[in-house]
DNA sequence: TCAAAAGTGTTCTCCCTACACCCATGG
DNA sequence: CCATGGGTGTAGGGAGAACACTTTTGA
């Protein structure tokens, strides 16, 4: 719906400009976009959702055609209640992924005067954390692709920089946010949780210490498995204890690593 | 310079609109502003720099005339290299305070569709920390006023909300940033430093534990006073040991409170 | 003279860290 | 059968938290 509107606007640009003086201001305005950094985790690696630019837009008005980029697009001045709504709407349009507005956390504003060759464009970057297993089917493989964090291609515009900043924000927020909740599937193992923290924080932890600390927080509860474990080779499955987590959080807690 | 340009644009709005079709886009663009939250500390209380709106602009085009607000203003699409440059430029124009672009830390974007009654305006809030004693003389008392944090009046637009968010960002960043360096005058006392941390974190510390911890970091050095202290009633003066602080910081340290 | 402000040191506890062995599975 | 992956417990050290008394000055 929104896509077709954007397409029309772009396609009609030439005669619009000549015949209608559509939107006029007494001093220059920048264009404003929202970009999305969607992080996913498959139990092994941290991943990011990227799109290939220009597949379906008029190439003459689209920069960086054929390059990989972060999903995102222009603020709808009349309809988007906030810039986070822009992020959610554009993500849906470009990748099929439907997230709630409050799943987006603001990363920051990128406003370098020449960051877009077409006109002055200011972008507000947002990141979101998703359970990869649960959303993979919902992402439109025609347009979007999940890239391993360690294997990201060069991106269009200043999106390389935006991605780096988004990752460092995630790295900071991991101390205050329930990152595990949001990235892991509902049932997970301790090694998976540890690997996730190690991926984001870019450090290695001692297995025993990590397990001790996690147990100490009392936010994990064992999932009783149908198949009784014989050895220790197959890891124990856990799920988050949301009640305990919420109680900790409301007391102003902080995950320390 | 920029002020006169803005004034002209505003004053000429009516006939500009009619005679010139100045800046036209094929789809609507929002206006973009930068707002500044300047925190200062006088050794007793945390303060914020506010301006009174509309004293010198055409009232018919200015919203919230006569109310207090955060300093800030519109992005100059052609000249401001980044939105932080907007913040620095507008702060200078509106309050006389001249800060470097890198003194501003981004707080976030405020984009509610109705936050400005005139047109869609998105603002990027920035905070800055200044040594109140050193800049007080430089702020234009005609236009701007320093308000104690505990005594802030109701503000125009959504600036109340912006201020709250800025303060909570400051509260977070205090764990990673040398807030003392930036807010305290060069020479200060331990009680002042403690009071500053208590003001920002909204907690009380035990005097002895606070002193122990600070000494342990080895980032304070005593300033030998000309007048030898008789009793303990007059506090010892310190300055920051920048070398030690930088060394700690480069090793990835974190102030814990 | 009394209240308020500032300096100082010790003990206890808890959490973080370092560290090694066993078991089961799959190749 | 051996390499890999996963589970588990303990001892030591360091840092945070709790805690009281003395001195001086200003009211």
Q: Tens digits of per-residue pLDDT, B66-111?
A: 999 999 999 999 999 999 999 999 999 999 999 999 999 999 999 9
Last residue of a domain, one of A112, A141, A173: A173
Residue A198 has pLDDT above 60, yes or no: yes
DSSP string, A40-90: EE-SS-EEEEEEETTSSS-GGG-SSTT-EE--EEE--TTT-SSHHHHHHHH
Same-domain check for residues B77 and B91: yes
Same-domain check for residues B198 and B119: no
Determine, yes or no, domain membership for B64.
Answer: yes
Give the number of other CB atoms < 10 A from CB of residue B152: 17
The answer to whether B181 faces chain A, any CB pair under 8 Å, is no
Choose among A203, A155, A198: nearest CA to A44. A198
Same-domain check for residues B125 and B37: yes
Q: A33 with A122: CB under 8 angstroms?
A: yes
Average the pLDDT over A41-55 and give the result.
91
Task: List the B70 CA – D15 C1' distance (angstroms).
Answer: 41
Residue of B nearest to A29 (CA): B31
> What's the domain count of chain A?
2
Task: List the B205 CA – C12 C1' distance (angstroms).
Answer: 19
Q: How many CB pairs under 8 A join A and B?
A: 108
Q: Which residues of A109-130 are buried (b: 16+ CB within 10 A; e: fewer)?
A: bbbbbebbeeebbbbbbbbbbb
A256 touches strand C (CB under 7 A): yes
More confident residue, B198 or B9: B198
Task: List the A198 CA – C24 C1' distance (angstroms).
Answer: 26
Same-domain check for residues B166 and B233: no
The answer to whether B75 faces chain A, any CB pair under 8 Å, is yes
Determine, yes or no, domain membership for A222.
Answer: yes
Which range of A219-223, B77-81, B215-219 scores highest in mean pLDDT? It is: B77-81
Q: B153 with B160: CB under 8 angstroms?
A: no
Taking CA atoms, A168 is separated from A82, A157, B43, B125, in Å, by 24, 19, 34, 20
Sort B233 into a burial class: Cβ within 10 Å, 0-12 / 13-18 / 19+.
exposed
Task: List the A213 CA – C15 C1' distance (angstroms).
Answer: 9
Q: Do A111 and B30 touch (CB under 8 A)?
A: no
Given this model, what pLDDT does residue B142 score? 87
Same-domain check for residues A52 and A169: yes
The answer to whether A116 faces chain B, any CB pair under 8 Å, is no
Same-domain check for residues A244 and A125: no
Q: B144 with B53: CB under 8 angstroms?
A: no
Of B23, B26, B109, nearest to A29 by CB-CB distance is B23
Last residue of a domain, one of A173, A197, A216: A173
Q: Do B25 and A21 touch (CB under 8 A)?
A: no
Residues on chain A touching B126 (C-beta within 8 angstroms): none
How far apart CA A163 and CA B156 sit, in angstroms, is 35
How far apart CA B101 and CA B103 sit, in angstroms, is 5
Residues on chain A touching B174 (C-beta within 8 angstroms): none
* Portion 188-217 of B in contact with A at CB < 8 A: none
Last residue of a domain, one of B120, B153, B173: B173
Same-domain check for residues A72 and A151: yes
Q: Do B31 and A25 touch (CB under 8 A)?
A: yes
Residue A149 has pLDDT above 50, yes or no: yes
* Portion 120-159 of A in contact with B at CB < 8 A: 120, 122, 124
Q: B113 with B126: CB under 8 angstroms?
A: no
Token readout for B5 is 């340009």
Given this model, what pLDDT does residue A229 score? 66
Q: A50 with A148: CB under 8 angstroms?
A: no
Å from A5 to nearest chain B CA? 11
Domain that holds residue B138: 31-173
Same-domain check for residues B51 and B70: yes
* Portion 13-52 of A in contact with B at CB < 8 A: 13, 16-17, 21-32
CATH of the domain at B64: 3.90.79.10
Same-domain check for residues B54 and B166: yes
In the three-class reduction of DSSP (H, G, I as helix; E, B as strand; rest coil), residue B231 is classed as coil
Given this model, what pLDDT does residue A141 score? 86
How far apart CA A67 and CA B132 sit, in angstroms, is 49
Nucleotides of strand D within 7 Å of the protein's CB atoms: 4-10, 15-20, 22-25
pLDDT in tens, B161-198: 999 999 999 999 988 888 888 999 999 999 999 999 99
Give the number of other CB atoms < 10 A from CB of residue A173: 16
Determine, yes or no, domain membership for A13.
Answer: no
Average the pLDDT over B200-216 and give the result.
94
A212 touches strand C (CB under 7 A): yes
Same-domain check for residues A83 and A98: yes
- Kindly indicate the confidence band of residue A10, based on its pLDDT and cuts at 50, 70 and 90: very low
Cα of first residue to Cα of last residue in chain B, in angstroms, is 45
Task: List the A236 CA – C27 C1' distance (angstroms).
Answer: 23
Q: B178 with B249: CB under 8 angstroms?
A: yes
């Amino acid at each position: 719906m929104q896509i077709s509107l954007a397409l029309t606007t772009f396609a009609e640009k030439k005669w619009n400009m000549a015949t209608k003086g559509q939107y006029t201001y007494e001093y220059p305005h920048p264009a404003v976009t929202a970009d999305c950094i969607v992080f996913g985790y498959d139990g092994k690696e941290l991943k990011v959702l990227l799109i290939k630019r220009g597949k379906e837009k008029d190439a003459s008005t689209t920069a960086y055609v054929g390059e990989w980029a972060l999903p995102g697009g222009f603020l709808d001045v009349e309809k988007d209640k906030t810039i986070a709504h822009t992020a959610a709407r554009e993500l849906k349009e470009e990748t099929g992924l439907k997230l709630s507005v409050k799943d987006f956390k603001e990363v920051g504003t990128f406003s370098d005067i020449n960051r877009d060759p077409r006109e002055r464009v200011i972008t507000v970057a947002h990141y979101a954390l998703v359970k990869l297993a649960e959303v993979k089917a919902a992402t439109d493989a025609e347009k979007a692709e999940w890239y391993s964090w360690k294997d990201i291609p060069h991106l269009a515009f200043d999106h390389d920089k935006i991605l780096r900043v988004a990752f460092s924000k995630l790295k900071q927020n991991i101390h205050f946010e329930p990152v595990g909740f949001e990235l892991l599937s509902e049932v997970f193992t301790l090694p998976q949780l540890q690997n996730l923290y190690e991926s984001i924080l870019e450090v290695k932890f001692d297995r025993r210490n990590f397990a001790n600390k996690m147990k100490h927080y009392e936010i994990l509860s064992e999932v009783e498995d149908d198949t009784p474990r014989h050895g220790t080779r197959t890891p124990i499955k856990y799920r988050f204890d949301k009640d305990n987590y919420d109680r900790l959080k409301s007391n102003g807690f902080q995950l320390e690593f």
